[in-house]
Amino acid sequence: MTGRQVLAAEAAVMGALALALLAKEIPGIIREVRIWRMVGLRPGPRHSHRALQEGGALP
């Protein structure tokens, strides 16, 4: 085997391992996202408490 073939084989093995790990962790990730949604930790702009204290209007 040449050096390129060895590197290609290693890359294929690492890609397969990464894909297997991701597939194994998907149920846990989905569970975490559901918890974040219930708690209200959503990405994006948030309403600050300061705006509410100063009488600012919410959009």
CA atoms lying within 13 Å on the CB side of residue 45: 4
Rg (CA), the chain: 23
pTM for the full predicted model: 0.51
pLDDT in tens, 19-58: 999 999 999 999 998 988 888 876 555 555 555 555 555 5
Give the list of residues 6+ apart from residue 58 with CB closer than 8 angstroms, or none: 47, 51, 52
